Structure 1
Amino acid sequence: MNGKITRLLFVFLMTAGPILAFEKVGTTAFQFLKVPASARGCAMGEAFSAAADHSDAAFFNPAALTRIRKMDISFDYMDYFLDISHVAVSGAWSVPNLGTFGLHAIATDIGSIRVTSVEALDFYDGVYLGYTGETIEPGSALIGASFARDLTDKFAFGLSAKYAREDLGVRSAGTLLFDGGLTYDTGFMGLQIAAAIRHFGPEVKFYDQVSLPRYDASTDSTYYQRYNGKGYPLPQTFNIGMAAWLISASGHSLIHSRNQTLLLAFDLVQPRDYDQQYNFGLEYGFEGLLFLRAGYKLNYDTEGLSLGFGLAWNRMRIDYAYSDYGAWLDAVHRFTFGFVVN
């Protein structure tokens, strides 16, 4: 078994190698896949690949779904920039002696956008307009299924298969993509180590061929020239994470406490289209009822500090996260409601 685990880890890390070779900013499609779907995870600065333990773990590391012992369901809502709404739902259930199964979905609603064109540019009542009278309604969506299983009492793996589609209003594209993850319980201070690859899949094309008008000055005529569509890679990421219980009721934590917990988490993130990034998170819990969270993200263009809290009672939980996006963008608020089903 140990030999199989070693080979699995080797294949996993070798697969991550090509991801680490990319540092091309702004070259990937399906940017909505980068938007996280968990108020708790966001409040902890997205340092969550080793810390997740509910059904929304499918959005960070599917291997963490093995921590669910019954059935867990989560609903997440985010009021994003420019009146864009982002909704996510996830559910996972454990099947004894088999593993943990999960389903998840994301929908992003951008709303209506008024179409403009050069031909429609004109002054009207002193306002410079370019509206054609048409509107488009771009949006994006994802559905996925996950499976996770314990390999030993310390190792677990998880896989997700997903279908994502993005509609730009005039063109749309869809593709199949995959996530994979591992978790390892060191047994020391409750330290968990994790690794995850997300959004692994083929390049996407919004069109195969297109004909565009060209003007020939020598003949004073217009003709159409055909162009082949360009493929764009997905925003793949490779995460290595750690999470440790500094304070808990467990004998494995640094400090023992009956009614307080303190969780420290860290993720090293290698995106396909950016330099290495670093996520830090902290969660303090009191009596298993009230949770206070904070996080910070390094080497991001706009993101930095995040704060949040959570309430849990009678198998239900409510989480809130506040994320600061700097001086040029509004802060983002996220809410998650979840519950456990017997």
Structure 2
Amino acid sequence: MSGLQFLKIDVGGKESGMGGAVSTVVRDANAVFWNPAGIADSKGLNIIFTRNDWLVNSEISTMSLSYSFNFASFALSVLSYQIEKFEETTVLKPTGTGYMVNAGDLLIGVAVSRKFTDKLNIGGQVKYVQETLDVFSYDNILFDLGSSYATGYRDLKLAFVLQHFGPDITPVYRKFKPPLLFKIGASDNIYRWGPQKLLVSLDVIHPTDNNEWVSVGTEYSLYDKLFLRWGYRFNRDLGDMAFGFGVESIKLGSTTIFIDYSYMDYGEIFNEIQRLTVGIRFN
């Protein structure tokens, strides 16, 4: 059994629009949430803000920032998960006591990534996580490690990622393990014609607290300015299909503003999940 389940929620309009199959695809500050090795492919300064709707009127807000030097790339990330206040219930008052309970989660991460060769990136992240339920609170330090490799065959890339590993956590009396994930990913541009490209990506995700699943994603791009995305996650009970779009909306000199949006259907019981990302890139 594991805790800190908020760490497994997808972050980012682009990434979730491709079904989370982005271990080899993400190359900006949001790589901290997927594969820290991708930060090495970012250029200049990147600042990205994301807002995710989530289940039962909860929401996730994130900020990620990365900057590339000649010798390495560094990133800072903050994630806040806020749950709508709910009324306390007890055995004697099962309909509610009138006391409203606060709950939420926090993540602060620092990452570094480097190009060891023109084909191999390796990155790592250390992150502080905190989970709060009213007067109870616990925290931990976790680590991520990732790599990406350009094979040299076509545009084929491979990735290996280990996320959320660290010591056990003890909220009250019982120990829980962090939600460790191991991912293997691959992607390739299978179609090119003039300004058009079609990218296909695949991630195999092996969690220690659930069944393994496979994510498949596609991205169609036109002039690298307009993007249409689709993704599907196999062997998941909820949130299997997603789609979205992205726009490189404004370019002023070396500054680019981009917007990404995704939509995921969570069935009849839960609301649909929408994610919006706005980023600024200073090359």
Same topology, TM > 0.5: yes
Q: CA separation in 1, counterparts of 2:84 and 2:268?
A: 25
Gaps of 5+ in 1: 1-26, 122-128, 208-228, 248-254
Please tell me whether residue 295 in structure 1 is matched to residue 269 in structure 2. no
Q: CA separation in 2, counterparts of 1:73 and 1:189?
A: 30
- Asked if structure 1 preserves the Cα contact closer than 8 Å seen for 2:7 and 2:179, the reply is yes
Aligned pair partner of 1:115 in 82, 88, 95: 88
Shift of 1:147: 0.2
Shift of 1:145: 0.3
* Alignment-mate amino acid for residue 245 of structure 1: N
**For 1:107-151, what per-residue CA distance to the aligned partner results, in whole angstroms no more than 9, with x for missing partners?**
011021111111224xxxxxxx2x222111100010000000011
- Asked if structure 2 preserves the Cα contact closer than 8 Å seen for 1:80 and 1:86, the reply is yes
**For 1:169-219, what per-residue CA distance to the aligned partner results, in whole angstroms no more than 9, with x for missing partners?**
242110000000011001111111001001011111112xxxxxxxxxxxx
Q: CA separation in 2, counterparts of 1:120 and 1:153?
A: 64
**For 1:66-120, what per-residue CA distance to the aligned partner results, in whole angstroms no more than 9, with x for missing partners?**
1112111110001112210110110111011x20000001001102111111122
Partner of 1:132, secondary structure, is: coil
Shift of 1:158: 0.1
**For 1:285-333, what per-residue CA distance to the aligned partner results, in whole angstroms no more than 9, with x for missing partners?**
1122211000000011112110000111311110000011123222100
Aligned pair partner of 1:99 in 47, 60, 72: 72
* Alignment-mate amino acid for residue 29 of structure 2: S
Aligned pair partner of 2:248 in 312, 316, 320: 312
Identity rate, percent: 32
The corresponding residue for 2:157 is: 192
* Structure whose residues are more often helix by fraction: 1
- Asked if structure 2 preserves the Cα contact closer than 8 Å seen for 1:304 and 1:326, the reply is no
Q: CA separation in 1, counterparts of 2:194 and 2:258?
A: 21
Aligned pair partner of 1:264 in 177, 200, 204: 200
The corresponding residue for 2:217 is: 281
Partner of 1:64, secondary structure, is: helix
Q: CA separation in 2, counterparts of 1:327 and 1:298?
A: 19
Please tell me whether residue 136 in structure 1 is matched to residue 107 in structure 2. no
CA RMSD of aligned residues (A): 1.1
Q: CA separation in 2, counterparts of 1:70 and 1:169?
A: 41
Please tell me whether residue 166 in structure 1 is matched to residue 131 in structure 2. yes
The corresponding residue for 2:120 is: 155
- Asked if structure 2 preserves the Cα contact closer than 8 Å seen for 1:73 and 1:340, the reply is yes
Deviation >2 Å, runs of 4+? none
The corresponding residue for 2:36 is: 62
Aligned pair partner of 1:329 in 270, 274, 277: 270
- Asked if structure 1 preserves the Cα contact closer than 8 Å seen for 2:56 and 2:270, the reply is no
- Asked if structure 2 preserves the Cα contact closer than 8 Å seen for 1:92 and 1:100, the reply is yes
- Asked if structure 2 preserves the Cα contact closer than 8 Å seen for 1:285 and 1:291, the reply is yes
**For 1:214-267, what per-residue CA distance to the aligned partner results, in whole angstroms no more than 9, with x for missing partners?**
xxxxxxxxxxxxxxx1110011100000011123xxxxxxx4x33111111000
Partner of 1:116, secondary structure, is: coil
Partner of 1:326, secondary structure, is: coil
The corresponding residue for 2:176 is: 232
Q: CA separation in 2, counterparts of 1:120 and 1:279?
A: 44
The corresponding residue for 1:46 is: 20
The corresponding residue for 2:55 is: 81
Q: Kindly tell me the number of residue pairs found equivalent between the two proteins.
A: 278
Alignment TM-score, normalising by the size of structure 2: 0.96
Gaps of 5+ in 2: none
**For 1:47-66, what per-residue CA distance to the aligned partner results, in whole angstroms no more than 9, with x for missing partners?**
01111111101100000111
Aligned pair partner of 2:188 in 219, 240, 244: 244
Q: CA separation in 2, counterparts of 1:290 and 1:178?
A: 34
| Rg comparison, structure with higher value | 1
- Asked if structure 1 preserves the Cα contact closer than 8 Å seen for 2:38 and 2:123, the reply is yes
